[in-house]
A and B are shown apart, each in its own frame.
Chain A
Amino acid sequence: MFLNSIPIFLLFFLVMPFSLIMPWKIIRVFLLAIPIVGGFQILNMELGSSYTINFMGLNLELVRFDKLTRIFSLIFCLAAFLGNLYAWHVKDKVQQVASIVYSGAAIGAVFAGDLVTLFFFWEGTAIASVFLIWARRTEGSYYTGMRYLIIQIISGLILLMGTVLHYKETGSIAFTQFELQSLASWLIFISFGIKCAFPLLHNWLQDSYPAATVTGTVILSAFTTKLAVYALARSFPGTEILIYIGAAMTLFPIFFAEIENDLRRVLAYSLNNQLGFMVVGIGIGTEMALNGTASHAFAHILYKALLFMSVGAVLFRTGTSKASELGGLYRTMPLTAIFCLVGAASISAFPLFSGFVTKSLIMDQTADQHYELIWFVLVFASAGVLSHSGIKVPFFAFFSHDSGLRPKEAPKHMLLAMGLTSALCIIIGVAPVILYEYLPYEVNYKPYTSYHVINQLQLLCFAILSFILIKWFKMLPKEIRSINIDSDIIYRKALPMSLAYLVFGLKKVIKSITEIRNSFGYFIITILQKLIGSDGSISRIWSTGNMVLWIAIVLSLILILNYSTI
């Protein structure tokens, strides 16, 4: 096949020049066909193949294909296909081109064998994806997109700095495993961390994903953060600090998700929490833990996309995704409700659903490597996932009180996309071997043991029991039209305000300096006025005798001074 000789990401960029002349109806066919062709291509590629070009004296490895690349590029193709199917109705060429170029850049980054190529695609994903936010075409989305773009570009620039330093130190630009020692490796680590939404670097995610278009959020949810997970798994496996970062990531979003009103933002928090599990897996760094990370990323992309699709369908039909405005939609959107429940069961890791067979690989390794505290945190976080993604999202959108809204069921192509994604979630859950075969290392793990199934059911069912009781006593956090401040207040309010104060202060200082200068100037002028003004003491006509006297005094002073120095 001739495609063997060209890097797959080029396929995705093909649509760009065509989009200028072709109508949207034809482009959307390409949007579905390209990921399919790309996916088959990946399945047929030989492990270990590579494609290098020489560019300005650097050997750029555009294609480096191993098992880790395979699983991530496969799921990216699958996500691109499902996302584009969901967006079948979108007539906006900007969104069409952005989504295909974005997924192409993400796949290109996964194939990159060196840091320069990685940087190129790293920024590519940033620039392409921001159009999915701007495509909403409102003032709010413009500003949100700007914030998103700035943070993503900064992440890329830090990666570039790290690459340059690394090249200076070692003479190599290979994108392989790094020890977290030199400044260069720290820079690369932080760059990955920004895209991976590490705690305190995370807010771009919750800020921007709910601001994108209905379909844009589905596509956004798949690539950027999982690309960062891939990059971390490639470069920093077994870096212990990642275990603690990951554990923190699983924890704090739970509480924010619980009180968030916008369901798409709830899902963004929950995405953050799921990334935490993957990061813990990378931090542990054993073969099975990395298998866990890769498989969890795979399953996560599917069920997270499914959840974003179902809430997106609600937004598409009702114009809002706010929990306070929704409720009782099961009456007219029953299929969407079922798909949402499948996504909820998958993310909560119910047996027979995808999350169960992937998350447990990570949990098991945490226990095996004796990280007791981390294990308790992860079990806690599993109950947390259930609370916001498993219960809150489907409950407040489709059940709960009747909002009075009677929207029509989601359009057919959306239902098809959600149905396919649901089917994949269940297939992975029922027959995990299919997924395990594509993992980076050999899998020696059986998820369906009696103790594992029963323990997981105990955890989840008793959590649900707690929910029922709390609901019974009407003590659930109320759905209020509101937002919650997070660490983004630092750069959205605190910094601009302190900058404003700083400018205000500086202006004051400058003003007082001017005043002092002015008054000093006035002082000088009045003295000069007195001395040499029209009747100043100097400008008066003096007698010659006086003049001679003064000259004599001055001369004698000079003489005295001269002699005293000899």
Chain B
Amino acid sequence: MEEKELNKSKNFFSWLEDPKKAQILILIFVIFCVGLFFADFFYDRHPHFSADKVFGFYAIYGFLMFTFIIFASKVLRFFVIRSENFYGEKAVDSEDYPKEQINMEEDNVS
């Protein structure tokens, strides 16, 4: 049964499950990023302002800003988080989606 389930659920994403392959993918991505960073040497840049004249501006800005977003939103969460039934029955957050309107079929493994 389990064997079948594994076979059944094999698809083009399945290679992700092998941690080694995932690591190789990440490594390739990192090399690609490094290449992108130094690509700034090789093309005709079109900066609009003074800041984006900086070498690798987009890469640095993208990296820093993404990091900022994650940590800033963690700070925001500290202030705004509430339990799911904060608004009680007047919101949909704490209720289940009506089962009769959906079709919760499981993947057929047999």
Q: Which residues of A contact B14 (CB under 8 A)?
A: 331
Cβ contact within 8 Å between A462 and B60: yes
Cβ contact within 8 Å between B69 and A258: yes
Q: Which residues of B contact A337 (CB under 8 A)?
A: 13
Q: Which residues of A contact B93 (CB under 8 A)?
A: 140, 262, 483
| A486 close to B (CB within 8 Å) | yes
Q: Which residues of A contact B89 (CB under 8 A)?
A: 139-140, 143
| A171 close to B (CB within 8 Å) | no
Complex partner residue of A483 from B29, B71, B86, B109, CB under 8 angstroms: B86
Q: Which residues of A contact B26 (CB under 8 A)?
A: 468
Cβ contact within 8 Å between B91 and A140: yes
Complex partner residue of B102 from A319, A331, A383, A451, CB under 8 angstroms: A319
- What size tier do the contact residues of chain A reach? 35 or more
Please, how many angstroms separate the alpha-carbon atoms of A459 and B43 in the complex? 16
A60 smallest CB distance to B (angstroms) = 39
Cβ contact within 8 Å between A450 and B44: yes
Can you name the residue of chain B whose Cβ is closest to the Cβ of A91?
Answer: B101
Please, how many angstroms separate the alpha-carbon atoms of A315 and B102 in the complex? 8
Can you name the residue of chain B whose Cβ is closest to the Cβ of A398?
Answer: B13
| A316 close to B (CB within 8 Å) | yes
Residues from 352 to 398 in A contacting B, C-beta threshold 8 Å: 367-368, 372, 375-376, 379-380, 383-384, 386-387
Can you name the residue of chain B whose Cβ is closest to the Cβ of A208?
Answer: B92
A366 smallest CB distance to B (angstroms) = 9
B83 smallest CB distance to A (angstroms) = 6
Cβ contact within 8 Å between A259 and B81: yes
Residues from 12 to 59 in B contacting A, C-beta threshold 8 Å: 12-14, 16, 26, 29-30, 32-33, 36-37, 39-40, 43-46, 48-49, 51, 56, 58-59
Complex partner residue of B36 from A255, A457, A480, CB under 8 angstroms: A457
Cβ contact within 8 Å between A408 and B107: yes
Cβ contact within 8 Å between A466 and B105: no
Complex partner residue of B13 from A334, A451, A459, A483, CB under 8 angstroms: A334
Cβ contact within 8 Å between B108 and A408: yes
Cβ contact within 8 Å between B43 and A450: yes
Complex partner residue of A408 from B66, B76, B106, CB under 8 angstroms: B106
Complex partner residue of B81 from A139, A213, A331, A482, CB under 8 angstroms: A482
Cβ contact within 8 Å between A465 and B29: yes
A463/B76 contact (C-beta < 8 A), A136-B92, A317-B103, A375-B48 known: no
Cβ contact within 8 Å between B72 and A255: yes
Please, how many angstroms separate the alpha-carbon atoms of A384 and B90 in the complex? 31
| A185 close to B (CB within 8 Å) | no
Cβ contact within 8 Å between A463 and B33: no
| B3 close to A (CB within 8 Å) | no
Please, how many angstroms separate the alpha-carbon atoms of A81 and B45 in the complex? 42
A218 smallest CB distance to B (angstroms) = 14
B100 smallest CB distance to A (angstroms) = 9
| A214 close to B (CB within 8 Å) | yes
Q: Which residues of B contact A470 (CB under 8 A)?
A: 67, 70
Please, how many angstroms separate the alpha-carbon atoms of A480 and B80 in the complex? 13
Q: Which residues of A contact B51 (CB under 8 A)?
A: 376
Complex partner residue of A330 from B13, B69, B81, B105, CB under 8 angstroms: B13
Complex partner residue of A331 from B11, B62, B69, B101, CB under 8 angstroms: B11
Can you name the residue of chain B whose Cβ is closest to the Cβ of A254?
Answer: B69
> Which of B26, B66, B76, B109 is most buried by chain A, counting CB atoms within 10 A of its CB?
B66
| B4 close to A (CB within 8 Å) | no
Cβ contact within 8 Å between A466 and B107: no
Cβ contact within 8 Å between B98 and A475: no
B55 smallest CB distance to A (angstroms) = 11
| A399 close to B (CB within 8 Å) | yes
> Which of A318, A457, A458 is most buried by chain B, counting CB atoms within 10 A of its CB?
A458
Complex partner residue of A140 from B70, B86, B95, CB under 8 angstroms: B95
Please, how many angstroms separate the alpha-carbon atoms of A40 and B7 in the complex? 46
Cβ contact within 8 Å between B48 and A367: yes
Q: Which residues of B contact A92 (CB under 8 A)?
A: 101
Cβ contact within 8 Å between B69 and A255: yes
| A500 close to B (CB within 8 Å) | no
Residues from 319 to 334 in A contacting B, C-beta threshold 8 Å: 319-320, 330-332, 334
Residues from 72 to 86 in B contacting A, C-beta threshold 8 Å: 72-74, 76-77, 80-84, 86
A332 smallest CB distance to B (angstroms) = 4
Please, how many angstroms separate the alpha-carbon atoms of A467 and B10 in the complex? 27
Cβ contact within 8 Å between B62 and A459: yes
Residues from 449 to 478 in A contacting B, C-beta threshold 8 Å: 449-452, 454-468, 470, 475-477
| A351 close to B (CB within 8 Å) | no
A482/B70 contact (C-beta < 8 A), A317-B102, A407-B106, A461-B33 known: no
Cβ contact within 8 Å between B74 and A477: yes
Please, how many angstroms separate the alpha-carbon atoms of A429 and B90 in the complex? 42
Cβ contact within 8 Å between A407 and B104: yes
Complex partner residue of A334 from B11, B48, B92, B104, CB under 8 angstroms: B11
A458/B56 contact (C-beta < 8 A), A316-B103, A468-B26 known: yes
A309 smallest CB distance to B (angstroms) = 14
Can you name the residue of chain B whose Cβ is closest to the Cβ of A466?
Answer: B66
Q: Which residues of B contact A407 (CB under 8 A)?
A: 104-107
Cβ contact within 8 Å between B106 and A484: no
**Residues of B near any A CB (own CB < 8 A):** 5, 9, 11-14, 16, 26, 29-30, 32-33, 36-37, 39-40, 43-46, 48-49, 51, 56, 58-67, 69-74, 76-77, 80-84, 86-87, 89-99, 101-109
Besides A316-B103, A475-B70, 19 new A-B residue pairs in contact (Cβ under 8 A), listed by A number: A89-B103, A136-B92, A140-B95, A211-B92, A214-B102, A255-B72, A331-B107, A379-B61, A383-B62, A387-B66, A406-B109, A408-B105, A451-B43, A459-B58, A466-B63, A477-B73, A483-B82, A483-B87, A484-B76
What are 14 inter-chain pairs, A to B, with CB distance below 8 A?
A: A139-B89, A140-B89, A319-B102, A319-B104, A320-B97, A332-B9, A375-B48, A380-B65, A407-B104, A458-B37, A458-B40, A462-B36, A477-B70, A482-B82
8 closest A-B pairs by beta carbon, nearest first, are A140-B92, A367-B48, A258-B73, A459-B62, A458-B58, A463-B66, A332-B107, A466-B66
